[in-house]
Amino acid sequence: MDKLQIEGGTALQGKIRVSGAKNAALPILAGALLTADPVTISNSPHLQDVTTMIELLASLGVEVTLNENMQVEIVAATLSSFRAPYELVKTMRASFLVLGPLLARFGEAEVSLPGGCAIGSRPVDQHIKGLEALGAEIVVTDGYVRARAPGRLIGCDIHMDVVTVGGTQNLLMAATLAAGTTRLYNAACEPETVDLANFVNALGAKISGQGTSTIEIEGVERLHGGTHRIMPDRVEAGTYLVAAAVTGGSVHLRDVAPQTLGAVLDKLQQAGAHIDVGDDWIALDMQGRRAKAVDIETSPYPGFPTDMQAQFMTLNALSEGTSTITENIFENRFMHVHEMKRLGAEIELHGHSMAVVHGVGELRAAPVMATDLRASSSLVLAALAATGTTTIDRIYHIDRGYETIEEKLGQMGAKVRRIS
Ligand code: EPZ
Q: What does the pLDDT look like over 11-65, one tens digit per residue?
A: 999 999 999 999 999 999 999 999 999 999 999 999 999 999 999 999 999 999 9
Residues classed as catalytic: 117
pLDDT in tens, 272-303: 999 999 999 999 999 989 999 999 999 999 99
- How many angstroms separate the CA atoms of 54 and 401, rounded? 15
pLDDT in tens, 84-139: 999 999 999 999 999 999 999 999 999 999 866 778 778 999 999 999 999 999 99
Looking at residue 184, the DSSP 8-state letter turns out to be E
pTM over 0.95: yes
Q: Is 297 exposed, middle or buried (0-12, 13-18, 19+ CB in 10 A)?
A: middle
Q: Looking at residue 81, what is its pLDDT?
A: 95
Q: Is the CB of 376 under 6 A from ligand 1?
A: no
Q: Looking at residue 120, what is its pLDDT?
A: 75
For residue 113, the CA-to-ligand 1 centroid distance in Å is 14
Q: Looking at residue 359, what is its pLDDT?
A: 98
Do residues 340 and 317 lie in contact, with contact meaning Cβ atoms separated by under 8 Å?
Answer: yes
The residue whose CB lies within 8 Å of the most ligand 1 atoms, and thus the one to mutate among 92, 122, 304, 328, is 122
Do residues 404 and 397 lie in contact, with contact meaning Cβ atoms separated by under 8 Å?
Answer: no
SS3 32: helix
Atom from ligand 1 closest to the CA of residue 127? 40
- How many angstroms separate the CA atoms of 417 and 5, rounded? 5
Q: Whose CA is nearest to atom 8 of ligand 1?
A: 307
pLDDT in tens, 380-419: 999 999 999 999 999 989 999 999 999 999 999 999 999 9
For residue 119, the CA-to-ligand 1 centroid distance in Å is 10
- How many angstroms separate the CA atoms of 378 and 343, rounded? 12
**CB atoms closer than 10 angstroms to residue 353:** 18
pLDDT in tens, 243-260: 999 999 999 999 999 999
For residue 330, the CA-to-ligand 1 centroid distance in Å is 8
Q: Looking at residue 118, what is its pLDDT?
A: 78
- How many angstroms separate the CA atoms of 309 and 307, rounded? 6
Over the chain, what is the mean pLDDT?
96
Q: Whose CA is nearest to atom 19 of ligand 1?
A: 166
Angle at 42 between CA 26 and CA 87, to 5 degrees: 30
* CB within 8 Å of 303: residues ≥ 6 apart: 263, 297
Q: Is the CB of 70 under 6 A from ligand 1?
A: no
Q: Is the CB of 23 under 6 A from ligand 1?
A: yes
Compute the half-sphere exposure of residue 39: CA atoms within 13 Å on the CB side of its CA: 28
User: Across-strand partners of 120?
Assistant: 117
- How many angstroms separate the CA atoms of 225 and 34, rounded? 10
Looking at residue 217, the DSSP 8-state letter turns out to be E
Residue type, 42: S
* CB within 8 Å of 110: residues ≥ 6 apart: 82, 83, 84, 144, 145, 146, 147
SS3 116: coil
Q: Looking at residue 116, what is its pLDDT?
A: 64
Helix 22-31 and helix 234-246, axial crossing angle in degrees, nearest 10: 170
Q: Looking at residue 166, what is its pLDDT?
A: 98
Mean pLDDT calculated for residue range 219-240: 98
Q: By C-alpha distance, which of 169, 173, 190, 230 is closest to 329?
A: 190
pLDDT in tens, 338-366: 999 999 999 999 999 999 999 999 999 99
